[in-house]
Amino acid sequence: MNLNLTLIGQAIAFAIFVWFCMKYVWPPVMQAMQARQKKIADSLDAASRASRDLELAQEKASQLLRENKEEAAQIIEQANKRANQIIEEAKETAREEGERLIVSAKGEIDQQVNRAKEELRGQVAELAVAGAEQILKKSVDAKAHSELVDSLAKQL
Amino acid sequence: MAGNASEYIQHHLQNLTYGLHPEYGLKFAENAAEAKAMGFWAIHVDTIGWSVVLGGLFLFLFRKAAKSMTQGVPGGLQNFVEIMVEFVDKSVKETFHGRSQLIAPLSLTIFCWVFLMNLMDLVPVDWLPALFGAMGVHYMKVVPTTDVNATMGMSISVFLMIIFYSIKIKGVSGFTKELTLQPFNNKLMIPFNLLLEGVGLLAKPVSLGLRLFGNLYAGELIFILIALLPFWIQWALSVPWAIFHILIITLQAFIFMMLTIVYLSMAHEDH
């Protein structure tokens, strides 16, 4: 173990290696590692931001859904109400129409009854006149007795 | 057997040395005596070679990952590199509170490089020396951190950085004051303080380098001793020791890195 020039040779080699490492190895490795660290930190940030956004969106969506449901319920209720109203109106109209028909039918019936009565009355007058002719055995002047016949017919 | 064993051990602890021999000129040392005779002007080719190869491997892998770095989902290699970088970055940030472009990559380089050099310890002790022996290279010590030159080379570099940053942050006068007026703030105590602080300062690189060297050298030596046993019993000792060594090599790499960070952070702090 004698000391010799190897000592200096080793020191020179050492210096060259350190220089090379400092110049060509350390900086790129360090740079890449720092860049990756930054990238990971950014990604984590973005992920947490995205999850927050998602939460907000979900909340908004559920709120919209709730509002729409309420609106739909309201619309259905209105429609039901309107339907009931229409049915009521239709019933009313039908009832009125029926009454109107009944009234007109009654009017017609009365008219016909009256007409029949007039006819009967006329026939009865004629019969009475014929009967009276027969009884009196003489011709009666229709003209002179028409007043009498008319009053008779009216009494019928 | 005894002579054989000590020869075997010495052979394993001998570096492949290339240098200026006073008598034969520039050549590879053929034995320990020749290597010794070369003195300071010699170089451990195996130590330098393996450490450069391993450092190159580390930088190649990390550079490959760094070039194809993606911000998306990381692949296998990138994942590994990111774990390492993050681990080192965290260790630096916990200890070092100043701002420095250098200290984090420095720590990463130290940790990975020292770990890889230590990892060579887990390669069975005879494989690579035998392979190189077959190619005509007689000495091959494959674990650079078991060579005190390698560890001290690194710790002295760290020491120079400590001094550089001390002067840069505190100025020459601040650094001098730190060395002379602590712990006793009295003019008469300057020599004493200087001695105390000087020893403290010099102890940093020495302890840093020798700690790593000592641990790995001892570990390697035990592997060599285990290799002396009959082959059918070696596994009973080498496997537990290797498993334990996985902890040691990681821990020593980590300690070297942490102490470097601590020392440099002390150099940055103004008292």
Q: State the CB neighbour count (10 A cutoff) for residue B42.
A: 24
Query: Domain residue spans in chain A?
Result: 38-149
List active site positions of B: 207, 211, 215
pLDDT at residue B246 above 90?
A: yes
Which residues of chain A have a CB within 8 Å of the CB of B85? 26, 29-30, 33
CB atoms within 10 A of CB B185: 11
Q: Do B69 and A4 touch (CB under 8 A)?
A: no
Residues of B in Cβ contact (< 8 Å) with A10 = 47-48, 51, 144, 149-150, 152-154
What integer is the mean pLDDT of B156-169?
Answer: 93
Q: What are phi and psi of B42, to 5 degrees?
A: -145, 160
Whether residue A29 and residue B36 make contact (CB cut-off 8 A), yes or no, is no
Domain locations along chain B: 47-268
Instruction: Write the Ramachandran bin of B137: left for phi over 0, alpha for psi from -120 to 50, otherwise beta.
Output: beta
Q: State the residue for tokens 């004051």.
A: B177
- In chain B, whose CA is at the least distance from the CA of A8? B153
pLDDT in tens, chain A (156 residues): 578 888 999 999 999 999 999 999 999 988 888 898 999 999 999 999 999 999 999 999 999 999 999 999 999 999 999 999 999 999 999 999 999 999 999 999 999 999 999 999 989 888 888 888 788 766 556 666 777 777 777 777
Task: Dump pLDDT digits (tens) for B134-148.
Answer: 888 888 888 999 999
pLDDT tens-digit map of B61-120: 999 998 888 777 788 888 899 899 999 999 999 998 878 888 999 999 999 999 999 999
C-beta of residue B152 within 8 angstroms of C-beta of residue B205: yes
Kindly provide the ipTM of the predicted complex, given to two decimals: 0.88
Taking the Cβ of residue B50 and every Cβ of chain A, the question of whether any pair is shorter than 8 Å is answered with: no
Q: Does B186 touch chain A (CB under 8 A)?
A: no
Helix residue ranges, H only, chain A: 6-20, 26-136, 142-155
- Placement of tokens 């296998």 in the chain: B76
Asked if A37 has any chain B CB less than 8 Å from its own CB, the reply is no
A9 touches chain B (CB under 8 A): yes
Q: How would DSSP label each residue in B58-106?
A: HHHHHHHHHHT--SSS--HHHHHHHHHHHHHHHHHHHH--S--SSHHHH
Q: Do A39 and B42 touch (CB under 8 A)?
A: no
Cβ–Cβ under 8 Å, residues B169 and B45: no
Residue A119 has a pLDDT of 92
User: Is residue B1 very low, low, confident or very high in pLDDT (cuts 50, 70, 90)?
Assistant: very low
Return the SS3 of B44. Answer: strand
Burial class (CB in 10 A: 0-12, 13-18, 19+), B260: buried
Give the Cα separation of A136 and B75 in Å (integer): 151
- Work out the minimum CA distance from A35 to partner chain B, whole angstroms: 6
**pLDDT score of B240 more than 80:** yes
CA distance A21 to chain B (A): 6
